[in-house]
């Protein structure tokens, strides 16, 4: 699978979650906190690859009204970062505790997309409990529907 396909998949799946937040008429603080975390992690990892300081902390909570623009900014940054760097390039970075690590970009991206999927599943569970019909975010189903 090409990296562009996994980027497109993650962007589409995240977008389907964002659509639920846009129509939500009740407060969903736990779901908003977790989805903010997803957006923050995507931003932080893209910034780390670029050698820039992240604008948000790992658990910073964004208003749900900002999810769509934050997501668009994240995926623009991710795509720009990949255009300017080889997947096997090693990146030296610090985690949120200040510990230093080094990983290749392809390893970081695998983590970033897996992390997004993991927490999207948690968000969907919370949305379901709140009475919302969860959107289809399964890769194979989106592929079958020719959305990817």
Q: How far apart are CA 47 and CA 49, in angstroms?
A: 5
Instruction: With cut-offs at 50, 70 and 90, classify the pLDDT of residue 147.
Output: confident
Tell me the per-residue pLDDT of 89-122, one tens digit each, with 9 for 90 and over.
Answer: 999 999 889 999 999 999 999 999 999 999 999 9
Q: How far apart are CA 62 and CA 46, in angstroms?
A: 18
Query: Please, which residues bridge with residue 94 across strands?
Result: 100
7-30: average pLDDT: 96
Cα distances from 42 to residues 66, 113, 132, 141, in angstroms, run: 15, 8, 25, 23
Among 102, 94, 145, 113, residue whose Cα is nearest residue 11: 113
Q: How far apart are CA 92 and CA 74, in angstroms?
A: 20
* Domains along the sequence of the chain with CATH: 3-144 (1.20.120.450)
Query: Please, which residues bridge with residue 93 across strands?
Result: 101
pLDDT value, residue 3 = 87
pTM for the structure as a whole? 0.94
Q: What percentage of the chain carries pLDDT values higher than 90?
A: 89
* pLDDT higher than 60, residue 15: yes
């Amino acid at each position: 699978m090409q990296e562009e396909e996994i980027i497109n998949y993650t962007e589409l799946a995240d977008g389907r979650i964002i659509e639920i937040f846009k129509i939500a008429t009740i407060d969903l603080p736990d779901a908003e906190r977790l989805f903010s975390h997803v957006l923050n992690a995507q931003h932080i990892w893209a910034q780390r690859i670029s050698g820039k300081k992240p604008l948000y902390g790992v658990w910073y909570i964004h208003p749900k009204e900002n999810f769509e623009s934050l997501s668009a900014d994240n995926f623009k940054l991710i795509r720009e970062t990949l255009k300017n760097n080889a997947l096997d390039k090693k990146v030296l970075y610090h985690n949120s505790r200040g510990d230093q690590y080094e990983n290749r970009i392809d390893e970081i991206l695998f983590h970033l997309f897996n992390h997004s999927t993991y927490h999207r599943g948690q968000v969907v569970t919370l949305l379901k409990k709140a009475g919302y019909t969860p959107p289809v975010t399964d890769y194979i189903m989106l592929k079958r529907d020719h959305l990817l």
